[in-house]
Amino acid sequence: MKKRINKIEFIFENLIWNFRFFVLFPVIFSLFSSLKFFIIGSLDIWAGLILKFNVKDPEGAITYKIVSYIIGGIDYYLIGIVLLIFSFGIYELFISKIDIRFEQDEINILQSESLEELKGKLVQVIVVALIVSLFKKMLNLEVKQASDLAYIALSILLISISSYLLQLQHKSSHKSHHENH
C-alpha cells in the first residue's frame, strides 16, 4: 500500500513539476510580440526619417511630425524591450538558465534571479515607456488655459519624483545584493 501511494505521489509531483513548461507559451508569444513591436517602431522611425525638412514651414508642422514619429518609434521599442525582458526572465525562473548568456558577462539586463528582480526591471522600463508616451502626448496637447500648463508641470513633477524613487530603489537593491554576495 505504501509503495502504491509513493508511486502515485511520484507521478503527481512529476505532473505538477512538468506543468511549468506551459510557461513556454507566454515566453514564445512575448518574443514574437517583441519582434513585432521592434518592427513597428522601426517603421515609425523610418516614416519620420523620410519626411523632408521644409525651411518655409513657419509652424514647424513637418518637424513636429518627424519628432512625433521618432518618439512613437522609441515608445514601441521600449514596449518590445519590456516583452523581451519578460520572456527571458520567465524562462529563466521557470524553465532553465540560458547557458549562452554566461559567455557574455557584461550583458546582465536580461538576468533575473527572482520574480521580484524581474518585476523591478519591468517596472523601470515601463516607467521609461510611460515617460516617452507622455512626452508624445504633450506634443499633441493644445494649451487652452492656464490650468493646462499646471497639469503639464504636475505631470513633469510626478515623473521626476517617480524616476528619483526608482533610482533610490535600484541603488538600495544593488547595495543589498552586493552585501549578500
Cβ atoms of residues 139 and 133 within 8 Å? no
How far the first Cα of the chain sits from its last, in Å, is 47
pLDDT for residue 38: 97
In angstroms, what is the C-alpha Rg of the chain?
23
Tell me: pLDDT of 52 over 80.
no
Cβ atoms of residues 62 and 53 within 8 Å: yes
Instruction: Tell me if 38 sits within 8 A of 80, measured CB to CB.
Output: yes
- Judge whether residue 86 has pLDDT over 70: yes
**Quick one: pLDDT at residue 108?**
64
The angle subtended at Cα 30 by Cα 27 and Cα 33, nearest 5°, is: 155
The C-alpha cell 524591450 sits at 81
Supply 77's cell numbers.
521599442
- How confident is the model at residue 33, as a pLDDT? 97
pTM over the 0.85 mark: no
pLDDT, one tens digit per residue, over 110-169 is 667 777 777 777 887 888 888 888 877 777 777 788 887 788 888 888 888 887 887 787
